[in-house]
Every structure is written in C-alpha cells, then in structure tokens.
Amino acid sequence: MTATLRIVLAQLNLCVGDIEGNLAKHIQAAQRARDTFSADMIVFPELSLTGYPPEDLLLREAFIQETRKALQAFISEVKDIYCLVGHPLATKKGLYNACSLIYNNKVIAEYAKQHLPNYGVFDEDRYFIADHQSCVVPVKNIPVGIIICEDAWSPAPIKQAAANGARLILVPNASPFETDKHEERVKILKARAEESHLPILYVNNVGGQDELVFDGGSMMVNEKGDVCKFAGFFKETLLPVDIAINATQIKSDTIVIPATLERTYQALVVGLRDYIDKNCIPGVLVGASGGIDSALTLTIAVDALGKDRVRGIMMPSRYTADISTLDAVDLIQRLGIQSETISIEPSFKAFLDSLSLSFKGKSADVTEENIQARCRGVILMSLSNKSGWLVLTTGNRSELAVGYCTLYGDMAGGFAVLKDVPKTLVYQLAHYRNQLSAVIPERTLNRAPTAELAANQKDEDSLPPYSVLDKILECYLNHGQSVDDIIAQGFDPEVVRKVVNLVLKSEYKRKQAAIGTHINHKSFGKDWRYPLTNRFKG
C-alpha cells in the first residue's frame, strides 16, 4: 500500500532579529500551504524564527524570551497542518539549535542539532550545545526523521534515524552561498540518500545577512540520490512536494541549474539589496571613475536597487584621462542614474599647500597618491552624511589581498560589493552582465587597469598581471599552500614572495575594510582571522 504526504518547503527570506516579522511570514506561509496547496506539512529553514545567524543576540536573555513568545504565538495561531519550525531552545543543560514539529496547537516533537559547525563563517560552538538523540515522528502514519543542516554532512544522524524506522528525512538548513556550494550539497545529499535508501527533503533560506547571502536551492532527493524537485535560487517560494512511500517511482521535474557565473552575479545583487533594504538605507553612492570595478559596482547596484536609488559621483583629478571621464559618463547614461561631478583638484592642491613645509626636500611618492584617494573618500563620505545614502566601495578581492588600496581613501564606505571578487572574476562578471544588456562600455572592459593617481600609471607597474596574481592568491589564501608549494607549480619565486609579503603586510587594512558579500570559501572577514601582530612569514 502506498502512503502519501504533501509537504511544502518554505524557502523564505528571513531577517535576523526581526522576530515579529519572521513570525508573520511563518503564519502566512503555513496558512497558504494549507489552504492553497492542501499540504499536510510545511518545513521552515534552520533557526527560522530568529533568522540566521543570530550570533551574540543568542547571549541576550530577552532575545531568547521573545523568540519563545513568538513560537507560542505560532503554536496558538496555526491549525490543521504539521509545521516544522526552527528556533533556539533553552534548557537546563544549555541552549540548543533546535526545531519543533507542531500540530493543532501542540508541540509533538523537538529535535536538537547534533553536529555544530565551527569552521569558516560558522561558530555555533560559541552559542549552542550539541545533542545526540534521533528524532523520528509519525506524520499521517509515516515515520519522518528530522535532522538539521550540518547533520546531513555526516552519515551518522541519517543512519540513526533510518535505524529508528524513518521512511523520509527532513533537513532544515541555513546554508550560505559559495560559488560551488550547490554541487557540494547535491553530492552530499546523494550520498546520504544512497546510504539510507530514503528520500530527503532539504529546505534552505534565501537573502542577504551582512557578509553572508543565502541562495535557497531547496530540493527533494529520492532514495536513489536523484534531484526530483527544485525550488530555484535567490527567490522566496513555497515548493510543494508529493512524497509517495512504497511507490515504485517518484516523478521528477525537469531541472535546469544556472551556470556558476549567473549564480555568482545573483548572489552579489541579492547580498547588496538585502543589506540596504534590511537596514532601511534609502540609496547608495558610488565613485564613478570609468574603470571596470566602479562600472561593475554601479551596475550591480542598479540591478539590486533600481536606478532611482543609485547615484554616481565623478571626481576627476589632474591625472584623470579624458577617456575615463567619457566612459564614466557613458555608463551613467546607459544605467539612467543621477550623477554629480566634483573635481578633487582644489582639495588636493590645498593639502599639498598645507603640507609643503613638512614635505620640503622630499620627492613625491605614494603619499601624494594616497592624498588624492583620501580627497575622494572625504567627498563621498560628506555626501553620505548629508543624504543618508551609503557609500559603496569599489575595490576587489585581489587589491584588498595585496593592499593595493588606500585606507580612508578608496576603502572609505559602508559596503564593499566586490570585496570577495578577484579581479579576473570582475571581468568575467562584467562580460556576463553585458550579455543581458550592454551597459558597461566596451573600452572599459578592454582598457588596462589603472588607479590614475600618477601620470601614465598602470596597475601592472606595481603588481604582477592579474591573471598571475589571482592564481597565486588562490593557492595561498584559499588552499593554504606555502610559498615553496606555490613556487613548485612553476610561478616565478620572486613574484610569489612579493605577493605573499604584500598579503602579510596588508592585514591592518583588511581589519578596517567595509564588509562585503561572501562568495568564496576563504573570504576576508569571518573566514580569515589572522593576527595583526604576527611574525610568522611561512
């Protein structure tokens, strides 16, 4: 005899700390799943009531109490549908990362996460204690096993649930985007399904939260490990899934997965949009230089917020080439945004005049270049103060890694859209975006990168070609390879040592950099925690 369940996966964009707003989304989604989809059950993401990650809010008793009240309000409000809700659970033993299965005003089961991730961007050991109890509960006479996120990355929790009679596994998640994360998830879920011979329902949240961005990708994997249902990326949706236990075959949808480049661009758009909107910021300001980084930043900003909430600020100097101004104007016109031109020449000259006695007898060097960048930073931050709009910095990961940026200059701002985007990927993303509509001028794409802080300046005057630099940084930063390991791959020893030395010397800048969307598995910020005072050079 075939037993069936209709389960809705609630792929929602939840906001950390907005317990009232998150509760309203839960109630609305549950009622819609019940009334529109005739669902037997709805599954919400990990820590769905609080949003993820709540971080040190979990250390505040008032936060835990408010979450508990919201859970009780949900229990009282929703009937006639099983609901799996994520929340912190305070006990005498400690705080658990938990979820509760609720039906007709009662909690019929609770499950606490067994494996607490404490690597990369995760530090759940700081807040939670782990449990090691299986949870298998009947839903319409079908034994359903429940685990949470990281539990799926280890074979034991699902094996434990299967041994206790589970015929189906539910996995609420809060799994951040990385460029290859979807493929990793599918690989893991396929392995767990094949090991247990059980179908798995995986639900993830979507949206930006500070550096993190969640891509969704909720799915159903059958007992053979095939992805049968898929909710898509970067969109809120309720995905109904019909589960037939003992059926000979589960019908699969035709599933098309966007290419990595498209997903990465979407992640940057959503990460920026949610940071601005969730913090109630009216708009953004971007220094428009005519270069590729500012062009891509402006384009992402318009895609995220709309042209009326983005303003380009051109700040030419004595070293700004005419083609830079022309390309910046061209981009601004193509995007349809408002702009303003403020020359830095008067302020730059004023600084040089003020410092002339102090600089007497000393030749010009990087100091004068940094003064120009800081003039631009002061202008942008002044406009930000007056308007309430946030400054977006335009530096990329490659520059930040080696310190090719000016503290309190081009690093001044509130959000760094390209902070985790290597320079070579900047070009790839710009070409991808131009395939959708040609907004970035062709000359901007083809012109040699330059900071234009000195006459005839090119980035490669100070750095190796970005194609080489990014490969060395990938080896050193992402894979933790030593200088000798990198040299052994055929890179010029002098270049490798120079790059690694620049990375080590620039840590103080990165500690003061604006946050930006995490897309890489070793991003600066939560993923990179090196001491400033550090004499290790290996």
> pLDDT tens digits, residue range 227-272?
999 999 999 999 999 998 765 455 667 778 889 999 999 999 999 9
* Residue the block writes with tokens 């983005």: 310
Residue length of the chain: 538
Which of the following is catalytic: 15, 46, 375, 399?
46
Amino acid at 388: G
Nearest 5°: the CA angle 67, 68, 71 is 85
Q: What are phi and psi of 175, to 5 degrees?
A: -110, 110
Residue 458 host element (H or E): none
Known active-site residue 149: yes
* Residue the block writes with tokens 């505040």: 60
Asked, colleague to colleague, whether 3-257 and 263-457+506-510 share their fold, the answer is no
Percentage of the residues of the chain whose pLDDT score is greater than 90: 87
Which of the following is catalytic: 99, 135, 149, 228?
149
pLDDT digits (tens, 9 = 90+) for 399-447: 999 999 999 999 999 999 999 999 999 999 999 999 999 999 999 999 8
Q: What is the CATH number of domain 3-257?
A: 3.60.110.10
Instruction: Taking residues 291-309, report their average pLDDT.
Output: 97
Predicted pLDDT at 431: 97
> Beta partners for 10?
238
* Domain residue spans of the chain: 3-257, 263-457+506-510, 464-505
- The DSSP secondary structure of 95-130, one letter per residue, reads EEEEEEEEETTEEEEEEE-S----STT--GGGT---
At 500, the pLDDT band (50, 70, 90 cuts) reads: very high
DSSP state of 220: E
- For the chain, percent helix, then strand, then coil, each to nearest 5? 40, 20, 40
Could you tell me which residues come within 8 angstroms of residue 271 by beta carbon, excluding any fewer than 6 positions away?
Answer: 208, 211, 212, 213, 417, 516, 517, 518
pLDDT digits (tens, 9 = 90+) for 310-350: 999 999 999 888 899 999 999 999 999 999 999 999 999 99
At 522, the pLDDT band (50, 70, 90 cuts) reads: confident
Instruction: Taking residues 280-288, report their average pLDDT.
Output: 97
Predicted pLDDT at 502: 94
pLDDT digits (tens, 9 = 90+) for 372-382: 999 999 999 99
Known active-site residue 124: no
The domain made up of 263-457+506-510 is a member of CATH 3.40.50.620: yes
Known active-site residue 113: yes
The mean-pLDDT minimum among 126-130, 270-274, 527-531 falls in 527-531
In this predicted structure, the answer to whether residue 59 has a pLDDT above a threshold of 60 is yes
Instruction: Taking residues 388-408, report their average pLDDT.
Output: 96
169: helix, strand or coil: strand
Q: How far apart are CA 291 and CA 296, in angstroms?
A: 9
Q: How far apart are CA 530 and CA 505, in angstroms?
A: 11
Which of the following is catalytic: 15, 83, 110, 113?
113
Predicted pLDDT at 250: 58
Two tokens at 55?
């971080």
Of 167, 229, 174, whose CA–CA distance to 193 is shortest? 167
Query: Quick check: pTM over 0.85?
Result: yes
